[in-house]
Amino acid sequence: MADSQVLGDGTMTSEIYFDNNATTRVMPEVFEAMAPYYAELYGNPSSIHRFGNQVSEHLGQARVQVASLIGAADPVEVIFTSCGTEGDNAAIRGLLEMRPEKRQIITTQVEHPAILGLCQHLEKKGYRVTWLGVDQDGMLDLDELREALTNETALVSIMFANNETGVIFPIEQIGVIVKSRGAPFQVDAVQAAGKLPIDVKNSPVDLMTLSAHKFHGPKGVGALYVRRGLTFPPFIIGGHQERSRRAGTENVAGIVGMGKAAELALKNQKYDSVKIRALRDQLQDSLLEACPSARVNGDKVKRLPNTLNISFRYLEGESILVLLDQHGICASTGSACTAGSSEPSHVLRAMRTPADWLQGAVRFSLGRFNTEDEVRFINEKMPSIVKRLEGLSALGKLAAQERKTPGSDIPAASQQGGRL
């Protein structure tokens, strides 16, 4: 994708990509690092000849790079996978296999579908899942976690940062509580890795999942951190790859690309965070000022620097996306893994978001390549999009009229629903 540029007539020369929580553009350095492993260094890293050993050495280098990104004590704690979802499945199923007498799983109502779907499946298999709630800012009640832990707890799985709202959970505090009861602690850090400092060596986290394409690496490759000393069975059984913890010939080019992306993410993390946060805040402030029907979803401080989840009262998020797309603007209504569902976001429902705003959520997630010109372009287009949709919606017309008529009071639809 070429860099976007504003033309004299106010149009853009290419897509304005603000959907970086769904996936990111591969860095040129990453693409360059991967290329030799398709045509030149194509040996199997498990082979005993020098050609294979040469490739194996490069896998080892990538393992060191990924371990450095999360502050692991030893690169052998990193197992390469195909994606974050595989890592989550491997972590949870592996822990359950090692603790068959324990039948309780603790997680949250706002997890990614990778965890949500698996835990719902395990409920049907007889496991008892405790679903921790969140408040209206998307934050956990740690006392609820303390009360939920029992001698039957097989594991606790809680995400580092929410993929829809960007809300960051206090992983260190959570881990201390979990470890005080002797339970393993697994963390889905797919959205946090590369955006936030992570130091698993000095944390209470036992297992952590990552995905390369969330921090400008390639799709189809991820990693699972397993703390050294933790007994962990293989999820995929077969060969001896990944120290017999994940069978199957490694995706060499993808792993090398992930390693390079991890190296760049660690190097640029502080600079990127400051730059991207400033652009996100500029976008947020302008939208709130120009669109009185808008509100931000999630804690405004404890969230990822790149994420803005904003709702527009009485409107449909998908309708907003369609009109944004006509201007070449790419955003989303939530997780890419639930795209196509007509159901309101399970994250916003868990936060008890008022029904007036529930369907009108749009997620803008910024990345390394976004610019101030792109932010200005979105801010120029959004007010007219909102006004147009309000004109087509009966409730939207009421909202517009409410703003024009001092003292008018439309009954809030938020009173219709309870906690889900």
Catalytic positions are 337
User: H or E stretch including 362?
Assistant: strand 361-365
Output the six-digit token pair for 319. Answer: 């309708």
Distance CA(364)–CA(297), nearest Å, equals 12
Ranges of H-type helices in 71-130:
84-98, 113-124
DSSP 3-state of 191: coil
Angle between helical axes of 394-404 and 372-392 (0-180°, round to 10): 110
Q: Are 16 and 373 in contact (CB under 8 A)?
A: no
Question: Please, is 99 exposed, middle or buried when counting C-beta atoms within 10 Å of its C-beta (0-12, 13-18, 19+)?
Answer: middle
Q: Per the structure block, which two tokens stand in for 55? A: 């490739």
Angle at 413 between CA 411 and CA 419, to 5 degrees: 135
Tally Cβ neighbours within 10 Å of residue 120: 12
**In degrees rounded to 5, what are phi and psi of residue 59?**
-65, -40
Give residues with Cβ within 8 angstroms of 218, minimum separation 6.
Answer: 26, 30, 34, 212, 253, 254, 257, 258, 261
The separation between CA 386 and the C-alpha centre of its own chain, rounded to angstroms, equals: 27
The amino acid that residue 155 corresponds to is L
Calpha distance 284→307 (Å, rounded) = 10
Q: DSSP for 325-353? A: HHTTEE-BSS-GGGTT--SPPHHHHHTT-
CA atoms within 13 A on the CB side of 345: 36
User: For 48, which DSSP code?
Assistant: S
Q: What is the DSSP letter of 246?
A: S
Phi, psi of 111 (to 5 degrees): -70, 165
